[in-house]
Amino acid sequence: MALKCLSPLSLLTRRLSAPEFVIQCCYHKKVVDHYENPRNVGSLDKNSKKVGTGLVGAPACGDVMKLQIEVDDQGKIVDARFKTFGCGSAIASSSLATEWVKGKTLDEALEIKNTDIAKELRLPPVKLHCSMLAEDAIRAALADYRLKQRDDQQEAVRASN
C-alpha cells in the first residue's frame, strides 16, 4: 500500500516520519486540511439561551466532541464552534460539521448525515465512527437549544399567570 501512495522519486529524495507517512499515505487531502487548519475551534457561552451545546463521545476509541451552535431570532444558525479530543478524522469531521451548519435553519441542520460528512472527507471505513460522532454532536446541540427554548417559554407562561 505504501508504494501505491508514494512515488519512487519521493522515497529517494526524502524520508518521511511515521506520522507524516500515515497522513500523506492514508488520509484524503480534505481530512489533512481540516486537521491542520481546523475551522471554528473554540467555545460559545453555554449559558446563553441562544446557544445549544452537544457533548458526545465514543468509548471504543476515546474520541470526545463538543459542538456548539448559536441561533438567531429567526431560527438560523449564525455561529458554530467545536472542541474535539481525538484523532485527525474526528477533528476534521467536527471542523466540517461546524462549517456546514452555519447559515442553516434548525431543520436543515438536522438533515446533515454522517454519510455526507464521511463522503465529503473520504473517510476510510475504520474512521466512519468519527463522522457518526459529528452527526450525534449536531443533533445533541440542536436538542439542547430546543430544550432551552422550551424552558424559556414555560417560564414566560408561569410569569404571565
CA distance 27 to 150: 42
**DSSP-derived pairing of the beta strands 63-71 and 51-58:** antiparallel
Q: Kindly state whether residue 12 falls inside one of the protein's structural domains.
A: no
CA distance 21 to 113: 30
Q: Kindly state whether residue 94 falls inside one of the protein's structural domains.
A: yes
Q: Kindly state whether residue 58 falls inside one of the protein's structural domains.
A: yes
Hey, how many other C-beta atoms are within 10 angstroms of the C-beta on 106? 18
Q: pLDDT-based confidence at 39, cuts 50/70/90?
A: very high
Q: Kindly state whether residue 23 falls inside one of the protein's structural domains.
A: no
76 or 6, greater pLDDT: 76
Hey, how many other C-beta atoms are within 10 angstroms of the C-beta on 40? 18
User: How many domains does one find in the chain?
Assistant: 1
CATH of the domain at 48: 3.90.1010.10
Q: Kindly state whether residue 19 falls inside one of the protein's structural domains.
A: no
| Interacting residues of 61 by C-beta distance below 8 A, sequence separation 6+ | 86, 87, 129
For range 150-160, the mean pLDDT: 73
Per DSSP, 57 falls in state E
Q: Kindly state whether residue 15 falls inside one of the protein's structural domains.
A: no
Q: Kindly state whether residue 5 falls inside one of the protein's structural domains.
A: no
The residue assigned the cell 500500500 is 1
Helix/strand number for the chain, H first, E second:
8, 3
Q: How do residues 75-133 score in pLDDT, each as one tens digit?
A: 999 999 999 999 999 999 999 999 999 999 999 999 999 999 999 999 999 899 999 99
**Average confidence score pLDDT of the chain:** 85
In this prediction, residue 27 carries a pLDDT of 76
CA distance 157 to 161: 6
Q: What is the pTM of this model?
A: 0.80
Q: pLDDT-based confidence at 7, cuts 50/70/90?
A: very low
Report, as residue numbers or ranges, the catalytic residues.
Answer: 61, 130
Residues in the chain: 161
Tell me the residue range of the domain where 44 lies: 29-159
Q: Kindly state whether residue 132 falls inside one of the protein's structural domains.
A: yes
